[in-house]
Structure 1
């Protein structure tokens, strides 16, 4: 019988039987696979940033231990699983750890806490690494002073504010913005998180904002840049006010504003704020602060004042208001004009209805409704030395029972004579251009009557000449502004935003 001798060799994790001759015995050999140390699981960290002068404590980390282990080792490195800062250290059998007294940290450097389990036989598990944290002890820098020069604030919105972006040595998180009645104050609108932007317009009802601004009051923007650690830097703007066309825009020559009850007078001279006011609008006073006042008055049937909505209501039959001729308005040659009107249509947008008109059969400008369209018209049919300009207009569809804000701009400030370039006319509705046309002629003196709510003493439309009086407006007028200055598209948008906020 063959005798086989065996040596028994104890290995790390099991027993392996081998023959003394070194040959593996398939029939009588016994092998056990090595069993490693299980690793911790489910690691989490309390925060991603620490602040303050060193030494500091790290964010706390926690994990779940395996069923069997001897102890946990901890390390801190600048790479996942690395030990560049702190070597592996026995921290006992725990499931959470805070590294106290940290020194030697570099601001904004990512540091990774890691743990591993060690068995009684010194077997080491795989490494479990937490999300990194960093140390930040510096606020943002370089935040620009808020620029409030846009001058487009309304009762329900701040001026558009822009600024130079802040920088941060680690992570700039967001900006916050507020409104106050003094520099640095937040008494009108408290802090709002506006994200990471460099331009913002605070609007009532948007992003949690709730406020109302009033004209002729100084307001200030306070801006805060906040980094991920919570450090912040603050800048304050100069003063801004609610946009007021009379003071913010040049060369306003007349303004009718139905929200100013003191400017609405009845036949007895009582204004609309008086309890005895009889409702008729005999006079609508100019509130433009122009050197010359241009009050409108009824010269036939007076429109009615709606004291609920503060609208002047025209009946479409015989009501209108007019104003005395003046060189600022119509009896002098001009190379520029801005007519802006806020009105509400009725159920009728089919019949001819003049909202505003100046001039007669020879020269003039107007804004009117006909056949479901809004028209902005211009004509200088007589040849006054630079050619005859036949009636020209821009139009767009218009809806019933709807508020509109219209600006009709004549700009011939590039006039150099009959052989020079043409002038430009652009009509804007609710902040957007509906089209442009040109004129070969200046707008020469046109002493035909000016009318709000009709045409008087002849006029012109795209269908031809109009004789006498007519075209009575069936709808409401809230505001009329006349300027001898041509605004650009951005300024028109500001005007219309102001009017929409006020009347819509």
Structure 2
């Protein structure tokens, strides 16, 4: 009779035994079939790059061995799981390995360590390849000189710095930047990793930076390009200084700065830093350094000085400052003007409040608050040869008890006559344009009184003409600047960044 076929699986021996008996012959046979060797797992390489003269050691490689095996083979290839550089080598039963004495490496070439398990019967597992590493022994080169010509440094930020990217035989990993008082020094701000960029502005309190800069002091940017191996090259900038509108911008004709205590005088002639200063602002001196001095003075009710925040405070009732008429300010025709003010509103932003006004019922420019909005206005009602320009304005809602930096720009430098193109007017608040409009007229001589904190001897708003004096400002003024030059949007942003760093 025939016997039943049976199979016995001997997993511990790695064999499958099959028993057969058949018929009259009575012949029996045993056949053995191998089972595949389990592979190592969880391989990792300790680092991605090595540096230094050859011979070098490869990064350490570690992995987890299978439950059953005889030994581990190791290889190194230029492809994943390949063995182009180093043939398979028995390294015993270890779970980590450092390939020493490497020679014949090519810089920047990827090399892949791999391992496999080998059984007692010489069966090999599938290959387990690690991530690659490369060898780099050449520093970066040709990083561009840091360009600091943006001229937008403040007390709490460096100038915006740009540069041409460095070159490297492998790859640039990141740049580092620092500030010093001499080329190559890092005594103001030590090295900071800023990533792989080609433009950066250091700001105190950002990315770990902590520093302060002073006006009229030379500073230098140091820039370091670092590759993946940690090799680097350094370039230094020319000197830069904290942005100062009086020296950095053209045609400033007046500047009031409440942080300059020597420019604030009371009615006894004492400056605000004097212990006997009585708090009344009788005079606010022009520190523009322009050829003509335009000091503002009280001519009715004097504002007061907040010595804690260094603000000139207007009470909204009867306080203002004025300045003598002058061709630089109002008694000559102009085709360009930049009025910039830093203010803080009070709880009242509803009533009419003139922050600054020049002109009268016929011609002028102003900045004012009314009905919860801030307005920038312009008018040249009389026809002075190029048509009448009715009152025009742009406006933006504002909030109570809030600091604002305002710039009102008149630019008619493209004027060619009555039949030519219109002039442009743009108002900016806190670095952003709130709107633009156009004028058909230059701003002709307007000898009506100039006022900081009210209107004097008539004015104009979007609701119509105003007579006499009024519109007293209820709030603080920290800084005021007047230029006979129209800045572009980028320059306005620089001015406002300077003011925000200073007053916010």
TM superposition score category, shorter chain reference: over 0.9
**Does structure 1 conserve the Cα–Cα contact (< 8 Å) formed by 2:158 and 2:202?**
yes
Residues 492 and 29 (structure 1), Cα distance of their counterparts in 2 relative to 1, 3 Å cut: same
TM (norm. structure 2) is 0.94
* 2:159 equivalent in structure 1: 159
Q: 1:367 offset after TM fit, Å?
A: 0.7
Q: Which residue number in structure 2 is paired with residue 7 of structure 1?
A: none
Kept in 1: contact 2:174–2:195 (CA 8 A): yes
Q: Is the 8 A contact 1:386 1:441 kept in 2?
A: yes
* Pairwise CA distance, 1:155: 1.0
**C-alpha displacement of 1:69:** 3.5
Instruction: Tell me the CA shift for residue 234 of structure 1.
Output: 1.3
Whole-angstrom CA distance in 2 between matches of 1:87 and 1:319: 91
Contact 1:18 1:24 in 2 (8 A): no
- What secondary structure, in the 3-state scheme, does the structure 2 residue paired with 1:234 have? strand
Cα distance, 1:368 vs. partner? 0.9
Give 5+ residue unaligned stretches, structure 1. 4-10
**Whole-angstrom distance in 1 between the partners of 2:250 and 2:341:** 17
Farther-moved stretch of structure 1 (364-373 vs 119-128): 119-128
CA distance in 2 between counterparts of 1:29 and 1:333 reads: 119
* Alignment partner of 1:322 is 2:306: no
Q: Are positions 1:188 and 2:157 aligned together? A: no
Q: What's 1:379 paired with?
A: 379
Cα distance change of structure 1 residues 476 and 87 upon mapping to structure 2, 3 Å threshold: same
Alpha-carbon shift at residue 13 of structure 1 (Å): 4.8
Equivalence for 2:85: 85
State the partner residue of 2:334: 334
Q: Taking structure 1 as reference, are residues 33 and 122 closer, same or farther at Cα in structure 2, changes over 3 Å only?
A: closer
Q: Extract unaligned runs of 5+ from structure 2.
A: 4-12
Q: Do the aligned partners of residues 364 and 71 (structure 1) sit closer, same or farther apart at CA in structure 2, a change above 3 Å counting?
A: same
* Deviation of 1:231 (Å): 1.1
Change (3 A) 1:34 1:278: same
Cα distance in 2, alignment partners of residues 481 and 354 from structure 1:
16
Aligned counterpart, 1:496:
496
List aligned pairs for 1:202-217, cutoff 5 A.
Answer: 202-217=202-217
Aligned to 1:269: 269
Shift of 1:41: 3.0
CA distance 1:381–1:84, change in 2 (3 Å): same
Contact kept in structure 1, 2:2 and 2:21, CA below 8 Å: no
Answer whether contact 1:362 1:382 (CA < 8 A) is retained: yes
CA distance in 2, matches of 1:102, 1:30: 49
Cα distance in structure 2, aligned partners of 1:359 and 1:287: 23
> Structure 1, residues 410-431: CA drift from partner, whole Å, max 9, x if none?
1111111111111111111111
- How many Å separate the matches in 2 of 1:12 and 1:406? 85
Shift of residue 334 of structure 1?
0.7
Further displaced range: 147-156 or 57-66: 57-66
1:472 is aligned to 2:472: yes
Deviations 1:147-202 (A, max 9, x none): 11111111111111111112322232111111111111111111111111111111
Per the alignment, residue 295 of structure 1 pairs with 295
8 Å CA contact 2:251–2:485 kept in 1: the answer is yes
1:366 aligns to 2:369 (yes or no): no
TM-score of the superposed pair, with normalisation by structure 1: 0.94
- The structure-2 alpha-carbon separation of the partners of 1:86 and 1:304, relative to structure 1 and needing over 3 Å to count, comes to same
